[in-house]
Structure 1
Amino acid sequence: MIVTPVSDPRQLAALLPRATDGSRFLLGIVGAPGAGKSTVAEAVVGLDTAAYASVPMDGFHLADQALRTLGLLDRKGTPETFDAHGYAALLSRLHGRPDHVLYAPAFERTLEQPLANALPVPPSSTLIVTEGNYLLLDAPGWREARDRLDEVWFIDVDPDVRRARLIARHVLFGKTPAAAEEWVRRVDEPNADLVAATRDRADRVLDLSGWQPARP
């Protein structure tokens, strides 16, 4: 495992895996809630928007209707509230690089719901970037997803910065400051501990202490 300080998005270009035979690479970006995974994924895709595509893990959130049925709505965001097997299946299809567009789900934060078939991935995409909390989790579904990824980066960031970012994000999307702090304490931080335990399974650790993402 390699630890790499990253302070500028342009540094990411030198770290990307390179295909030598025209094949497609799948790059996973993992980290605790609020670590900056989406920011890094967007920066990578922004290096070549014609050839790179993003398929976030969050599109595989179970809808609130399913979570109510399962009694998991108050634990939304934990590993069991995702369709891990469906995620692994899509990664497998993406890795095969079919000769037609594949459509992936997205997660709409304003609605707090997944949106089916929202992200088109054309056959011309040579690098697929997928980011999420549980890409390195040793559990059914998640193991299969990891097997589909060619390389995984783990995002390291100061925990206080990460928690403040999370609280601000929850407030932005409708929670009161008190409710946001409670959610971070009760749900996000236990998830962060679970994710931190998978750090050593990553191919590379990115130290983002010198790069502060703009989003909360």
Structure 2
Amino acid sequence: MSGDERVVPLDRVVRRVLEGVSGRDSRYVIGIAGPPGAGKSTLADALREAFGSAHGVRIAEIAPMDGYHLSNAELRVRGDLARKGEPDTFDAAGYVENLGRLRHAPIGEPVPWPTFDRRIEEPTPAGVVFTRQRVVITEGNYLLCDGAWSGVRDLLDERWYLDADRDVLERRLLRRHLRGGRTADAARAKVRDSDLRNADLIARTRSRADLVLRERQGGYYAVVR
């Protein structure tokens, strides 16, 4: 870390967001971008818990980008199953459309959101339904990318980037693919030929984030430039 940077504990960031949420009619949307294996889902879970509940309802809920994976059947027909996880293997337009609806729908109006089941590597339609939650935590690789994803940035109140060292990414991704049933050779090929190549693409969007986050000693810290 350079001398002109400082770290801010994540709970301080949460307090700031809650101040911004107060008095708003629309939902407050936090976007967490970053490479595969950086721990975005884990951070999103921690954030959801940090926001807590009010009147028996969670203040925040998670809207994962992974819910917009194209189905394995569609990818197989296209000949793209081996490339699953790359930018064009998602329904980016559907993601942007529903994120806009989630941001602008009146609090209390149900908005279904698909989730992703890693056990079967398939989306689950309406895996979560937003109703009275006032904070949306959406996380995924390509939130700060251009092209089909360019509409995402205007829908985010906070643009965060979760960073991690390359060797950490490689180790986590290899473990993920082995748990998913790939052979050791197939897992290494997936990490080398797809995941880390995607990580390089995503790294070029880091400068578009408002905050860059890193995990440190079991907690999350924001590096403020």
TM-score, normalized by length of structure 1? Answer: 0.89
54, 59, 64: which one aligns with 1:56: 64
Q: 2:23 aligns with which of 12, 18, 21?
A: 21
Bigger mean CA deviation after superposition, 128-137 or 18-27: 18-27
Distance change >3 Å, CA 210–CA 62, structure 1 → 2: same
CA deviation after TM superposition for structure 1 residue 70, in Å: 2.0
Q: What 5-or-longer segments of structure 1 have no aligned partner?
A: none
Moved more, 112-121 or 127-136: 112-121
Secondary structure, counterpart of 1:125 in structure 2: coil
Q: Does structure 2 retain, via aligned residues, the 8 Å contact 1:103–1:120? A: yes
Match of 2:223 in 1: none
Q: Paired residue for 2:75? A: 67
Q: Larger C-alpha radius of gyration, 1 or 2?
A: 2
Distance 1:79 1:212 in 2: 29
Match of 2:89 in 1: 81
> 2 CA distance for matches of 1:19 and 1:3?
27
Structure 2 CA distance for aligned equivalents of residues 14 and 203 of structure 1: 16
Question: Displacement, 1:10?
Answer: 4.2
Distance 1:182 1:209, change over 3 A: farther
Does 1:35 find its partner at 2:38? yes
Contact 1:84–1:145 (Cα < 8 Å) also in 2: no
The answer to whether structure 1 residue 101 and structure 2 residue 110 are counterparts is yes
CA shift for structure 1 position 197: 0.5
Q: 2:124 aligns to what? A: 115
Indicate which of 202, 209, 213 corresponds to 1:195. 202
CA RMSD for the aligned pairs?
Answer: 2.1
- Change in 2 beyond 3 A, CA 1:61/1:52: same
Find the aligned partners of 2:172 and 2:6 in 1 and give their Cα distance: 22
> Partners in 2 of 1:4 and 1:55 — Cα distance?
29
Work out the CA distance in 2 between the residues paired with 1:15 and 1:184. Answer: 37
Whole-angstrom distance in 1 between the partners of 2:112 and 2:104: 14
Residues 1:144 and 2:151 are matched in the alignment: yes
- Give the superposition deviation at 1:11: 5.3
